[in-house]
Structures are given as C-alpha cells and as structure tokens.
Amino acid sequence: MEARVCAGTPPSLRGRRLGLNTAPRGPELRRIRRAVLGVGRSGLRPFPWRETRDPWAVLVSEVMLQQTQAPRVVGPYVGFLARFPTVSACADAGLGPVLEAWAGLGYNRRARALHRAARAIVDLHDGVVPADLRALQALPGVGAYTARAVLVFAYEHHQAVVDVNVARVLTRAMAGVPLAPGAVQTLADSLVPRGGAWHWNQALMDIGAVVCTARVPACGRCPLARGCVWFNATDTTPDPAPAASRQTRFEGSDRQGRGRLVDALRSGPVPPSRLRAVCGWPEDPQRARRVADGLVADGLARRAPGNVLVLP
C-alpha cells in the first residue's frame, strides 16, 4: 500500500480515528449525498448506455464492460445493438455472428456467455431480462456485480453497484483503512439515496474512474474531499483501497494467440496451413494447434472439412 502524497488535516477532522465504526448518518450522510449527486447529470461521462433503460442494452453494456475500459466499449456496444437490438435477435442468431459483432473487445468467452444468456432469457423469462437478483445471477456470465448493475441501471432498483472504482472511493472516503468486500457493499447500500440509485451509482463510478483514481487521486477537485477520511489523515497513512488484481501478461500469451485466431476467423475460414502464422507463432505449430483445440473445445470455433477452422 502506498502512502498518500497530499494532505493537511482540517481542524474538524483532527483526531478522528481511522476505520468505519458506523455508516454515515444524519447531516454527514446528507452532505455526502449532496456532494455525490452534485456531480449532476451533465457532469457524467457521456456513454450511450447511460441514455437508455432498456434492460437488454444495459445487460450488453455491463457484459462488455467486464474487463474492458468504458471508452473502448462504446464502438462495439453501438455496433452490437444495431445488429442485435433485442434479446430474441441475439438468441435467434448463431454464436458465429455474435462473435463477429464482438470484434474489438477480446475475452471472447463473454460473447459466448451473453449469447447463452439471451437464449436462457428467451427460454425461461419470455424474452424479458429478469428484474430479480437471483434470476439474473443464474444467467450465464452474470455475476453479483453485473446483476446489480442491471437492476439499478435498467430497473432503477434501490441498491448499490460496487465495482473496483466505487470500492476505492468508499474505502478511502469513509474508512481510511481496508474493508472486507462485504463491508464495502453493506456501506454502499446504506448510502444510496431513495429514488436516486441510478444517478448516485453512476456519479460514484465516475468519481472513482476520473477523480479518485488508483495511482494519483485528484483530491483537490473531489466533491468528497471535505469529509474524506484518507485525504484528511496524516500524510503517511497507507492507501486503504483494495489492491487492483494483477493482469496476467498478454503479450506472447496463449490468450493473445486465441484472440488473433478469433480475429482471423471473423474474416473467414483458417486452413491448417495458415494456423501458425495467424496465431503469431510461425515456429511453434504445436502451440498453435493447442490453442486451436482449446477454441474448438470452448465452442468458439469449429472444424469444417479439411480441418479448416471456422466460426461456430
């Protein structure tokens, strides 16, 4: 954990203990809500998924946003929904066209999961994305976070959506010491203003993504600075934010070869003679074959006559 590089303890907070004994209440809670909601609708980053409450569009955006930064998702999101504007349009399609529309996003298993989720929604929920946490979590590729995001951003349910950015903001601002994930969710749920869950969650996410960043938080322009526990603690207080999960190396990995192969398959069949070059390992036919076998086993490619690889 790194120590903070800015500070100066205002008199109102001197001597305040680090840690979260109780969630903010009363005037403090009202002040926090005012500060976050003060970001205002016009202050939010303008993403197309923020212009809709269509549950299918929200689900698509949330699956795409898993492991991919928001600005990179915009183009594929717009293209995907132009091609599959409804749950049934996606469910009726084969996985191949869905993978084609996933171009530019990587982590192609998410496309397969979304396709399966669309089919499950048609089969089990008459084509309507369920507005129920357990039913959402039962869908392929939908975990607790994505389920909550759909409930809040499509159905405007009263709860908190805690991604890594929100966890960082709340841990720094409210506790100043590390919190267990369950405690962060409980704290986050207690802060959501009635009737304002959509805006509250979007604003908090943007504060985490743009202001309270992992490496260099811009406390000087943060709406939560006045009461932020970490900002107002001593300069040497370690950063309490949860450590970011380490990404495994992509360059030179099998994952990179898989991605290249799926990209090539989007353009057309890949015969055995091109497999090594397409994967980027001209000197390693075994590795290329292993990656191709893995894709086929995962259902992300199939073998046509002549051992030619094609999209499923």
Binding-site ranges for ligand SF4 (CB under 6 A): 169, 172-173, 211-212, 217-219, 222, 224-225, 228, 230-231
CB atoms within 10 A of CB 118: 27
Task: Using alpha carbons, select from 37, 119, 133, 108 the residue that is nearest to residue 86.
Answer: 119
Cα distance between the two ends of the chain: 45
Instruction: Look up residue 244 and give its two tokens.
Output: 């970011």
Of the pair 6, 124, the CB lying nearest ligand SF4 is at: 6
d(C-alpha 40, C-alpha 299), whole Å: 44
Is 156 assigned a catalytic role?
A: no
**Shortest Å distance, C-beta 146 to ligand SF4:** 25
SS3 310: strand
Catalytic residue among 2, 28, 51, 62: 62
DSSP annotation string for 116-147: HHHHHHHHHHTT----SHHHHHTSTT--HHHH
CA angle 133, 102, 202 (to 5 degrees): 45
Q: Are 279 and 255 in contact (CB under 8 A)?
A: no
* Length in residues, the chain: 312
Which amino acid is residue 213, in one-letter code?
Answer: T
Q: What is the rounded CA–CA span in Å between residue 286 and residue 85?
A: 40
What's the min distance (Å) between Cβ of 29 and ligand SF4? 16
- In the complex, what is the shortest distance from the CB of residue 240 to ligand SF4, in angstroms, rounded to a whole number? 9
Write out the catalytic residue numbers. Answer: 62
